[in-house]
Structure 1
Amino acid sequence: MSTFHLADVRCLSGVPFVHAKFAARLLASGVVAVRQMHGRTLRAPGLPDEDDVQAWLQPAVAVKTRPGCTPIPSRPLPQGKDARVALAVERICRFVPQWKGLMRLPVVYHLLEQGSRSLSASSYLWPQQILLSEAAFESDEVLADLVLHEMCHQWLYLIEELWPFDKPGARRVTLPSGTENRAPREVIGAAHVAAVTVHLHRATGMPGTRTARFTEYGKGCVALLDRVNDDLTPAGRIIAHDLKEAL
């Protein structure tokens, strides 16, 4: 357990979806150790045997062992939409086969409450849960982008279970999109999504204008991270540097 606290985030060999040598299994081992510790502290009921690694990576266990767990208002995914999500995952993996392992992370999909302005959402405080809006299902391409977008967040949340990206009291900033009041860790998340989406669009032969837009947005995010560098932890600076190079 202590090894994962002391080890540098660089032991993961990069960022998920960005670097081919990203050590997903090593990260999973660290996450299991952290969840077991939190499970004991929270006295969470019905936890798996400690040797059952896969069980500790399930969404239900993630939720039980997350201090401050806070669900987002949502509804069950209607029948038929789950099949669309499965096809979106299949589409992503068809164009970028090396992502198959990462796309197998167990998650639960929900439908955002009507009235939400977001196309999709997820939260560190509600781990391995992905929320999609009705509008997310308007086209296969948009749905694939959003599923990948939220899976990117889920993998960074796993890393944050071991290494926080920003310091307590970090300044809130405005994203290049105009979205206000975001923590530096959320800027890292936005830059990560941009870099990964560019990779997918290039693999699928998407129009160059869309790729250029995501590239510009990602570069805007990493420029913003340079300005709030003092608010980042060592792990946050390393991840930000890796994303800067990727963009």
Structure 2
Amino acid sequence: MALTRAGVAAEFGGWPFLDPGFRSRRLLAAAACVRWARQHTATPTRPTPAQLSTVLGPGEAARIRRLDLHLDLPADPLTLYQQAQADDAMTGLAAAFPDWAPLLALPIRFLRLDDDHALSASAFAIPQHVYLADPAFADTATLDEQLVHELCHQWLYLVEELHPLHHPGCQRRLTLPSGTPNRSVAEVLGALHVAVTVHRLWQERLNDDPRRPTRLTQLNAYAAGCTALLTVAADCLTPDGRDLAHRLQQHADQP
């Protein structure tokens, strides 16, 4: 189901992690209504505020998504210490970036990822679930980056529940600048969104880390690679997708 009255920027005051005026609660309310309607297609009912709140919980969100998409990503619970580290990191990020605080407050279920090739993961098919591998907890900067990375994905997933970013049925697949193959155009857009947002993290918060200059250079190169891919695949983007690509390019071009 897509809202057609206005695009994302007009409807919600911008884009998550890019615009301080982004109306996150408005997006959550709209997503809750869509989820409720999907859950009650056979017997439409008017939901109460409490019922809408329920469908914004990670467990119920994933259950409703499984009505359309089914994906199993094997994972275990975090250790108690890892959960405490994640909670502390989220609190620190919200304090450092007040405009991000409402976005970081999204209900998330953190799980332990058993993967030798990734530090973290999330998927549109499993909303509000973030998977963290043990190496993600190696140090504060690494954990901060992975959390911001995955929260970026989670918020674009919420947007995509309402407004697709590439045309439905688009079969074009691209290889990310990292070498990861078989990604949709919307996933490339998501990767650029992450690169721009994580760049701000390193620019403003992690400025005492000796890896900062190298990481900023890497992120700039990655953003340029994503932009080049999106330029080639621009015909696959919806008007909202093109708007987000343009906004991200503006941010990526800033010194």
Instruction: Using structure 2 for the length normalisation, give the TM-score.
Output: 0.88
Match of 1:219 among 213, 218, 224: 224
- Give the structure 2 partner of residue 175 of structure 1: 176
For structure 1, the 5+ residue unaligned runs are none
Task: After superposition, give the CA deviation of every residue in 1:119-156 in whole Å (9 maximum; x if it has no partner).
Answer: 10000000000000011111111011001100110000
- Give the structure 2 partner of residue 243 of structure 1: 248
For structure 2, the 5+ residue unaligned runs are none
Which range moves more in the overlay, 89-98 or 171-180? 89-98
- Give the structure 2 partner of residue 190 of structure 1: 191
Query: Structure 2 counterpart of 1:61, which letter?
Result: E
Matches within 5 A, 1:89-128: 89-113=90-114, 115-128=115-128
Task: After superposition, give the CA deviation of every residue in 1:105-132 in whole Å (9 maximum; x if it has no partner).
Answer: 001000112x441110000000000000
Distance between the aligned counterparts of 2:135 and 2:126, measured in 1? 22
- Give the structure 2 partner of residue 62 of structure 1: 61
Instruction: Using structure 1 for the length normalisation, give the TM-score.
Output: 0.91
Query: Structure 2 counterpart of 1:8, which letter?
Result: G
Query: Structure 1 counterpart of 2:48, which letter?
Result: E
Contact 2:31 2:162 in 1 (8 A): yes
1:68 shift after superposition: 1.3
Query: Structure 1 counterpart of 2:61, which letter?
Result: A
Please say if 1:229 is aligned against 2:234: yes
Runs of 4 or more above 3 Å deviation = 47-50
Distance between the aligned counterparts of 2:220 and 2:162, measured in 1? 29
Distance between the aligned counterparts of 1:233 and 1:81, measured in 2? 39
Distance between the aligned counterparts of 1:17 and 1:119, measured in 2? 21
Contact 2:17 2:100 in 1 (8 A): yes
1:42 shift after superposition: 7.7
- Give the structure 1 partner of residue 31 of structure 2: 31
Contact 2:189 2:226 in 1 (8 A): yes
Contact 1:95 1:200 in 2 (8 A): no
- Give the structure 2 partner of residue 164 of structure 1: 164
Matches within 5 A, 1:143-162: 143-162=143-162
Contact 1:70 1:125 in 2 (8 A): yes
1:212 shift after superposition: 2.4
Distance between the aligned counterparts of 1:55 and 1:69, measured in 2? 21
SS of 2:41's partner is helix
Distance between the aligned counterparts of 2:38 and 2:26, measured in 1? 19
Query: Structure 1 counterpart of 2:230, which letter?
Result: L
Matches within 5 A, 1:14-29: 14-29=14-29
Contact 2:8 2:15 in 1 (8 A): no
In the comparison of the two structures, how many residue pairs are matched? 242
Distance between the aligned counterparts of 2:171 and 2:42, measured in 1? 27
